Amino acid sequence: LGIVGEYIGKIYIEVKGRPRYHIEATTGQLPSQKQHTH
């Protein structure tokens, strides 16, 4: 049980600082960045 706890603890510490999603590429502009022409 102790070994499993150490294993899970190390995984938690390693993953904690990483972003949940990775965006590989973006295209176009975000809606908030569009220029409005009147």
- Whole-model pTM over 0.85: no
- Residue matched to tokens 């809606």: 31
The helix, strand and coil proportions of the chain, stated in percent and rounded to the nearest 5, come to 45, 0, 55
Structure confidence at residue 33 (pLDDT) = 56
- Residue matched to tokens 């706890």: 5
3-state secondary structure at position 16: helix
Q: Provide the CA 1 distance to its chain's centre, in angstroms.
A: 31
Structure confidence at residue 4 (pLDDT) = 92
Query: pLDDT of 1-38, one tens digit each?
Result: 789 999 998 888 878 877 667 777 777 766 665 565 65
